[in-house]
Structure 1
Amino acid sequence: MSFLRNFLFRARRRSGSILRDLVPYNEHYRPTHIHVNSQAWADRPESDATYSEIYSGYVSELQVPKEFIVLRPSYYDPMLEQEQVPPVFVLTLPGGRINVDNGNSVAIIAADNGLVGDASLQFSASNYSLAPAATNPVLRQRYFQPPVRVQGTVCSLLSGGGAAMGNCYHWLLDSLPRLHLVQEAGLWNSIDCFLIYSRKHRFAVESLLELGIRDEQILDVQQHSHLQAERLVVTSSVRGGGHHAPLWVSDFMKQAYMPAAAKLTRRYSPFVYISRRDAAFRRVRNEADVEALLAPYGFETYALSELSLLEKAALFAGARVVIGPVGAGLVNILFCAPGTSLIEFLPRNLVVGDYLDLTTRLHMAHYPLISCRDDASGRKASADRQDDLTVDLQALGTALHQALRQPQMQPA
């Protein structure tokens, strides 16, 4: 049934996309040109836009083990060992619009009907990487609902891409940290509303309420897929359009949530096993055996859907070793202290370097355990991304002994 529901959802989304490109309606809302560079646009007197650079560009380095190159999914770009990270900025657009009719893009449109290229987001359908602004679907869209007009200043927290629309990984890593940039730009107190993907995402609403944002200030795309604000505040991509995460993301998350998390009375084991028993896929088939192996070392099992944001922050902040299958919930390693070890279970069909990158930035030890192919995988049409896995217990034991011997690491 879940496969059928997913198929019907994709079919409806695909048909809606086709109709948007074919049926003419309010075509004057389609951008007529592209502002390639936000700073250059803000420097033009007629724009009335303001641009604040928060962090300078730099070259990011990452050591990528061979298996992450050889075994990566064919539809993913290789994890780069060197990545040029562009400057990180905040842009205010009087009369700016935001259009998110297409699930794989975010279109930021200035008052002169120009697409703001380096503030918008569009992804390649073939490899999930950022595509040039000229490929943004809004430029070929023909059907537009009139924008919902919102008084005051609206801050967009949208991070783009289909996965970002309902995934706590992208929310904690790519969306929520934009608030830090807004703070650094001195605009926090001027924001009247914050735009997110869906108010049904408890983790998103909860995280904003914890920061003192009121419920009535939270708008979502479900009611505002095309929005025009009196003033629209947007930021550049947190990861600069690539895969390397900046260290300031973790610093912000800890500063924002750890003071409240530290006041919780519940105490957690420093040896943490994250179960996906609460998930529909990518579960551990031999989980009972895994838990039996880990129990003598003091490991306790946690299903993250059962914990609040602050509880997850406290759990990961106090962890010495974290073990679990790849999934969105592991993004909570953002709260881990330097020196924490992550043992990550990876299905053979989904060898991705997301947490390899994060553990590097956070000065954590990373032990990837890549499962072998098995017959159960071949029976699933979506085995690449929704594959359950079987853990090699001998390999787990070896990785665990290495993690327990891991000396405390210090930031470089």
Structure 2
Amino acid sequence: MARVKSGFRKRFNIRYWRWQATHATIGKIGVLRRRFSFYPKAVHPAKAATQILEDRSFDLPTLFIPEETAFVRDKCWPYDTLAGDWAGEPTAKARQIAVTIRDAELLGHVGLIMTPPHQAVVMLQEGTANWNFAKARTLRQDPPIAGRCHFLPRTDNYYHALFHDLVPLVDYLERLHPRGMPLTLVCTPARLAILRQACALLEKAYPGLRTVELAENAKVPVEEALWLSFEAGNAEWNFADAAPVHRMAEIFRDHYGLPGGSGRRLFFSRGGSKIRRLLNEDALFEIAKAHGFERFEARADNHAEQVRSFSEADIVIGVHGAGLGNLAFCRPGTKMLEIFPENFTKSTYLWVSRHIGLDYHWVVGGPGDYDQAFSLDETIFRQKLEALLRHEPT
């Protein structure tokens, strides 16, 4: 989520009204729904399931100290995605689900599973599917996929690829998947090459896996679709156990042949990103540089260096954004200082840090504009950084 749109802008645009017209016509006639793969109804995976592999509800400790609890409750909750009714308790209600759905269909244009008995797409939010996940389109039908398969949704967000797609899959492979049982990973074309690379690495790590690609203009019937999900206080809190995160990191490190290392101090730059640009980044970097920090920027062609840099870092400074998903590769105990604009504070990486053993800190700058470009007071940054380096509370 980058720009927050008003209700007026969401409702009064041509895409919204085109969808409403489609819902009122094609959505009401079964033969047309099937012809154009338009399924505006959503069903919960537990209801769509043929077999339940795991469905557990439990109280999950947040691991927040009181100051962090107040920060999340009072500052982050308005910006956290799908924030629920958590009000600062030391635990959050969590539900972890792994089910299979037989004789389903994978839809490339929306990246979802469709279950024919319900004539609905499978989503955690039941009822009418969000209009981004119900689109009318004539799709090519690909040959059926036999056996069990897992659909990796289309995403162009690096953090979501790591923590929403890969971590749950690794968790399933480590705990629930019968060893050697065939499993087909289905990917849609995405701008993130990392997702396709990860599937290739998982094929090497887990015998029986193979990967196929489903084009955006195609659909495919499958014998058994696997659904994995984790629900807690909000969509930012998306895993319970550090083990699959560390296992995923190990698979990438082994692939890149990275030796162990430490001692680096990273000032993680968003570079030329239009969203959440730190307007006085150069001035802040000069302050950090005096304490031994190096500036590092993630690019599509330097993933090996991303994994290496975060693996070797003792301290990471960075503005909130998808690139901080690389915290998955940090060693336990690594310090993290996250920078926010005043009007966009999220609990994503505080949650990640607490659950994989990182030492998390934050600092809030001035208000961001429509693109969330903002500045951070240099004195406040210097004080925060120096206190962090002295191992003092901030």
Q: CA deviation at 1:251?
A: 2.3
Q: What's 2:327 paired with?
A: 333
Change (3 A) 1:179 1:67: closer
Q: CA deviation at 1:321?
A: 0.3
Contact kept, 8 Å, 2:199 with 2:211, in 1: the verdict is: no
Q: What's 1:60 paired with?
A: 60
Identity among equivalent pairs (%): 15
1:259-309 deviation line (CA, Å, top 9, x unaligned):
234x24797861011101132221221111112111122111111116533
Contact kept, 8 Å, 2:317 with 2:337, in 1: the verdict is: yes
Q: CA deviation at 1:87?
A: 3.1
The one-letter amino acid of 2:341's match is: P
Number of aligned residue pairs: give it.
359
3-state SS, counterpart of residue 398 of structure 1: helix
1:81-109 deviation line (CA, Å, top 9, x unaligned):
431111332x333321234655xxx6533
3-state SS, counterpart of residue 367 of structure 1: strand
Q: Which of 83, 92, 97 does residue 88 from structure 1 map onto?
A: 97
Contact kept, 8 Å, 1:157 with 1:195, in 2: the verdict is: yes
Q: CA deviation at 1:16?
A: 5.4
Q: What's 2:391 paired with?
A: 406
The one-letter amino acid of 2:358's match is: M
Q: What's 2:33 paired with?
A: 27
Hey, what's the Cα distance between the residues in 1 that align with 2:337 and 2:85?
19
Change (3 A) 1:67 1:31: closer
Q: Which of 81, 104, 114 does residue 109 from structure 1 map onto?
A: 114
Hey, what's the Cα distance between the residues in 2 that align with 1:32 and 1:79?
27
Q: What's 2:52 paired with?
A: 51
3-state SS, counterpart of residue 195 of structure 1: strand
> In the alignment, does 2:220 pair up with 1:227?
yes
Q: Which of 139, 151, 156 does residue 151 from structure 2 map onto?
A: 156
The one-letter amino acid of 1:255's match is: E
Hey, what's the Cα distance between the residues in 2 that align with 1:258 and 1:238?
29
Hey, what's the Cα distance between the residues in 2 that align with 1:307 and 1:269?
24
The one-letter amino acid of 1:70's match is: D
> In the alignment, does 2:171 pair up with 1:171?
no
Q: What's 2:6 paired with?
A: none
Change (3 A) 1:388 1:148: same
Question: Which of the pair has the greater relative contact order for Cα pairs under 8 Å at 6+ separation?
Answer: 2
Change (3 A) 1:12 1:341: farther
Hey, what's the Cα distance between the residues in 2 that align with 1:182 and 1:289?
45
Which structure is higher in strand share?
A: 2
1:38-83 deviation line (CA, Å, top 9, x unaligned):
3x765xxxxxx33322x84321232344344333474643783431
Q: What's 2:199 paired with?
A: 208
Hey, what's the Cα distance between the residues in 2 that align with 1:266 and 1:236?
32
Contact kept, 8 Å, 2:307 with 2:326, in 1: the verdict is: yes
Q: What's 1:70 paired with?
A: 74
Contact kept, 8 Å, 2:42 with 2:123, in 1: the verdict is: no
3-state SS, counterpart of residue 305 of structure 1: coil
Q: What's 1:360 paired with?
A: 354
Contact kept, 8 Å, 1:359 with 1:366, in 2: the verdict is: yes
Hey, what's the Cα distance between the residues in 2 that align with 1:35 and 1:344?
37
User: For the aligned residues, what is the CA RMSD?
Assistant: 3.8
> What does residue range 176-191 of structure 1 map to in structure 2 within 5 Å?
176-183=166-173, 184-186=175-177, 189-191=180-182
Contact kept, 8 Å, 1:341 with 1:365, in 2: the verdict is: yes
Change (3 A) 1:250 1:17: same
Q: Which of 380, 384, 394 does residue 379 from structure 2 map onto?
A: 394
Q: CA deviation at 1:197?
A: 4.5
Q: What's 2:255 paired with?
A: 260
The one-letter amino acid of 1:83's match is: A
3-state SS, counterpart of residue 342 of structure 2: coil
Hey, what's the Cα distance between the residues in 2 that align with 1:267 and 1:339?
14
Q: What's 1:292 paired with?
A: 286
Contact kept, 8 Å, 1:93 with 1:111, in 2: the verdict is: no
Hey, what's the Cα distance between the residues in 2 that align with 1:240 and 1:69?
11
In structure 1, the gaps of 5 or more residues are: 43-48, 123-130, 159-163, 408-412
Hey, what's the Cα distance between the residues in 2 that align with 1:192 and 1:147?
23
> What does residue range 335-354 of structure 1 map to in structure 2 within 5 Å?
335-354=329-348
Contact kept, 8 Å, 2:315 with 2:336, in 1: the verdict is: yes
1:162-205 deviation line (CA, Å, top 9, x unaligned):
xx732111111101123214423325755564233433322222
Change (3 A) 1:205 1:372: same
Hey, what's the Cα distance between the residues in 2 that align with 1:240 and 1:145?
37
3-state SS, counterpart of residue 216 of structure 2: coil
